[in-house]
Amino acid sequence: MREAFGAVFDVQDGYLNTASIGVPPRHVADAVAASFERWRRGEDTSSTFNEAVETSRAAFGQLIGVPSTSVACGATVSHFVSLVAASLPAGSKVFVDPVEFTSVGLPFVAAGHVIASTVDEADLVATSVVQSADGRIADLEALRASGKPVLLDVSQAAGWMPLSLAWADFVVGVAYKWLMAPRGAAWMAVRPDRAESLKPLAANWYSTGENYGTELVLRSDARRFDLSPAWISHVGAAVALPWLASVDLDAVRAHCVGLTDRLLTGLGLPPTGSAIVSVAGPPVQGVVSSVRAGRARYACHLYNTIEDVDRVLEALA
């Protein structure tokens, strides 16, 4: 058992793999377990989960600095990126970092768009705020100053990094990493002036509010892009995200980066200011991590400790 930022965690020692799967605090896991018990007893209806969906929607907006009316809920980042890709004019040029996660880049390739070689020649820039492979942080100020339309993926940033992204055209993110909620929930923030540019390709009962019929009457705000929610995923998200939005994210960032800096300096490497780092060589025994591009990737979240990092240093020493 560990305590961090007012929450209790049952995470095992040496778990440095939040960039793959975040571990929930006990009160989030308990809420999900209680939801399974209600399911077991047949105590819920579809409307039971509406409050959880709206709570998680609003909290995601709070974490990235936008109102809940600008946030659509779904299941995966690739679905939302595909929605943007399908709505661009044919043959649009999109700049995607060569090492970008495939859920951000491949929807544009599948839609037949051109992958631009530079930001200057692009009609849209699609990038992660923090890169999954090595923790590299995007230069958001430069992107904003470029004047280019921007799609940002915050899946590896929201939850440890304070964010204020109302200026971005589109912002996507998932629940199951740094937000420490179950897989199956994702969100997209759409800047209000860009909503009309998107085609509602997955129109459904949740995006219209109508269960039957063929008349397409979409909701007036970003909910028009909702997918029917994965209910229990949102039960967890409705507890995890408001809690994260209530903590001091500057302190969370300082904690996480302090740990990764300790790891890098202990290996004789310069600090990067990110909660995700990659180092040459395979993972070490007794530490849960991942391998990306032949390098060991370590991710430090708010529940990690100096002892977790020192396990790596001792093994490599």
pLDDT at 22: 98
- For residue range 7-18, list pLDDT tens digits in order: 999 999 999 999
Q: How confident is the model at residue 294 (pLDDT cuts 50, 70, 90)?
A: confident
End-to-end CA distance of the chain: 28
* CA torsion through residues 228, 47, 49, 63, sign: positive
Say if residues 175 and 181 touch (Cβ distance below 8 Å): yes
Least confident of 128-132, 138-142, 213-217, 248-252: 213-217
Q: How confident is the model at residue 42 (pLDDT cuts 50, 70, 90)?
A: very high
* 220 bridge partner residues: none
- For residue range 152-161, list pLDDT tens digits in order: 999 999 999 9
Residue 42: what residue type? G
pLDDT at 317: 82
Domain limits, the chain: 2-25+248-316, 41-246
Residue 211 pLDDT > 90:
no
Give the pLDDT mean for 209-231.
93
Tokens of 311: 């396990």
Least confident of 21-30, 173-182, 206-215, 244-253: 206-215
- For residue range 265-277, list pLDDT tens digits in order: 999 999 999 999 9
Give the pLDDT mean for 223-239.
97
Q: How far apart are CA 87 and CA 81, in angstroms?
A: 10
2-25+248-316 shares its CATH topology with 41-246: no
H or E element that contains 151: strand 150-153
Q: How confident is the model at residue 209 (pLDDT cuts 50, 70, 90)?
A: confident
DSSP 169: S
Task: Give the neighbor-by-neighbor strand order of the sheet with 290-292.
Answer: 276-280, 295-299, 290-292
pLDDT at 229: 96
Record: fold of 41-246:
Aspartate Aminotransferase; domain 2 (3.40.640)
Average per-residue pLDDT for the chain:
96
- Domain at 2-25+248-316, CATH from 3.40.50.720, 3.30.70.141, 3.40.50.2000, 3.90.1150.10: 3.90.1150.10
Q: What angle do CA 203, 208, 214 make, to 5 degrees?
A: 70
Percent of the chain with pLDDT over 90: 94
Give the pLDDT mean for 264-293.
94
Q: What angle do CA 299, 257, 56 make, to 5 degrees?
A: 65
Tokens of 314: 């001792």
Q: Given the structure tokens 């004019």, which residue do they identify?
A: 89
DSSP 212: S
Residue 29: what residue type? A
**Model pTM greater than 0.75?**
yes
Give the pLDDT mean for 227-253.
98
Q: Given the structure tokens 């700049």, which residue do they identify?
A: 95
pLDDT at 12: 95
A 10 A CB-CB count for 283 gives 19
pLDDT at 23: 98
Percent of the chain with pLDDT over 70: 100
Q: How far apart are CA 193 and CA 109, in angstroms?
A: 25
H or E element that contains 154: none
Report helix, strand or coil for 193: helix
Residue 182 pLDDT > 90:
yes
